[in-house]
Amino acid sequence: MNEVLTTAEMAAADAFAVAHGVPSLTLMENAGHAVAEEIAARFAPCRAVVLCGPGNNGGDGYVVARLLKARGFDVSVAREKVGGGDAAAMAEKWEGDTASLTPSVFEGAALIVDGLFGAGLARPLEGTFAAMVDAANAACLPIVAIDVPSGLSGDSGAPLGEAVIRANLTVTFFRKKPGHLLLPGRILCGVLVVADIGIPPEAASVSLHENSPGLWTYPWPRLDGHKYARGHCVVVSGSGHATGAARLAARGALRMGAGLVSVASPPDALAVNAAQLTAIMVKPADGAEGLAALLQDKRLNAVVMGPGLGVSGETREMVMAALIAGPALVLDADALTSFQSDPDALFARLHGHEVLTPHAGEFVRIFPDLLEDSVSKVEAARAAAARSGAVVLLKGADTVIASADGRAAINANAPAFLATAGAGDVLAGFIGGLLAQGMAPFEAACAAAWLHGAVATQFGPGLIAEDLPELLPKILAELAH
């Protein structure tokens, strides 16, 4: 199911393999073999420079160099010093050309293999290593990175300093790391290949996944079902001058399969909403008191709040009214920002059936201490979920979904076309539609995020928010088959 390992978990998996009879030298040989195979499949024999660092990443590099030389490549190994352990053993097997780590080594080369440092690097590159990374990037040659591009955090996907390899191809081992999926790491890795190097599957204890349909099951309707069995989602509208966001969310909930969808409207929004909605019902709800009265009907089992609602004390009161009523709840945009001055007041009322969907700016408003430059987006989302007790969907091109129980997923299928007004409102509606059908909050958030990205990818250039719900049935039909 697209398991993702942190660098610490990957080190533990390596240790597990060794403890269960797989020699560490065999793992290194297998890793180098996997990289060499990927290179040979993509490049004709040419002059290649393999950059070897002092640790195990450099040891992998020596294996790559030896195997490429055997395949007819003209290979030079560039190194500063040879480390100890397995890397030293592999260095002794290298019988070809060796050069120092100087930019002149790239003259006449057609390919660079980056084996300086792997995913476990925790400090910025400096001195000779930084200079070589800058020179490699400036050479404008194809670069193949071993494990991760040197200078990139394997956990956060962020450069550890100014120097970081920009790879065309990255070959990693056993499982992906967060840095392969989180931005800008996903861009810096280029094409990503995950190779099997002989680590037993049971070596991994995993709570992080790349989001995909294998992680959740869409709630297909039963043959003997009816519209009430598929749930009733309510989207709370803003005032008369800010109604479009709620209608986008409502359309998303309806297309996602909710049996009924209603837009709860204040008095000045009733006419404008009614004029533009057909299959979606419009229900009057004036402020917190009106919403509380509406939600006395327990058939209304999912509520979406925030899109176009406005940042105000009244919004806070309406959120509290919805929490007291007890349906599953999606809190987005203004429903979150309205609690900026006292987020703990919100968290104290959450009951575990909520999904919070902040973008980075909204996240900082209600979790001001969690999203720091040095912190992985995954860890920030996990900490937010643990603090709030809700599922947190931290939006972006590398959306992260986290549950209070520690489960998390990175959604990596969102195209650039989703950077359009209203796309987040539709996503909130997608989640609400799934919650109405009885999906658990974490699974609903994961499914909605993946389907959101799949729809946008299918549509392509020119996408606007209104297109997202209308193409969803095609993606669902493909998912069914």
Structure confidence by residue, pLDDT tens digits, 5-39: 999 999 999 999 999 999 999 999 999 999 999 99
User: In the prediction, which pLDDT does 286 show?
Assistant: 96
User: In the prediction, which pLDDT does 363 show?
Assistant: 98
- Describe the crossing of helices 56-70 and 85-92 by its angle, rounded to 10 degrees: 20
User: In the prediction, which pLDDT does 143 show?
Assistant: 99
Amino acid at residue number 16 = F
Distance CA(127)–CA(124), nearest Å, equals 10
List the domain boundaries for the chain: 3-205, 213-480
Residue 149: both structure tokens together = 């591009």
* Residue 2 CA to its chain's centroid (Å): 12
Question: What is the residue-wise DSSP string for 369-424?
Answer: TT--TTS-HHHHHHHHHHHHSSEEEE-STT-EEE-TTS-EEE-----GGG-STTHH
Q: Is the dihedral of CA 284, 290, 292, 297 positive or negative?
A: negative
User: In the prediction, which pLDDT does 81 show?
Assistant: 83
Helices (H), 122-243: 127-138, 178-181, 185-189
State how far the alpha carbon of 230 is from the alpha carbons of 59, 251, 301, 323, 436, in Å: 56, 15, 10, 21, 7
Q: Which residue matches tokens 């979904």?
A: 401
User: In the prediction, which pLDDT does 82 show?
Assistant: 83
What is the three-class DSSP state of 245?
helix
- Characterize the bridge pairing of strands 169-173 and 143-146: parallel
Whether this prediction's pTM lies above 0.85 is answered by yes
User: In the prediction, which pLDDT does 1 show?
Assistant: 59
* Residue 377 CA to its chain's centroid (Å): 9
User: In the prediction, which pLDDT does 463 show?
Assistant: 99
Check: CB of residue 336 under 8 Å from CB of residue 306.
Answer: yes
Element (H, E) at 51: strand 47-52
Q: Which residue matches tokens 């989703």?
A: 418
Query: Nearest CA to 409 among 439, 450, 374, 362?
Result: 450
What is the three-class DSSP state of 161?
coil
Residue segments in the chain with a per-residue pLDDT below the cut of 70:
1
CATH architecture of 3-205: 3-Layer(aba) Sandwich (3.40)
CATH of 213-480 among 3.40.1190.20, 2.30.40.10, 3.50.50.60, 3.40.640.10: 3.40.1190.20
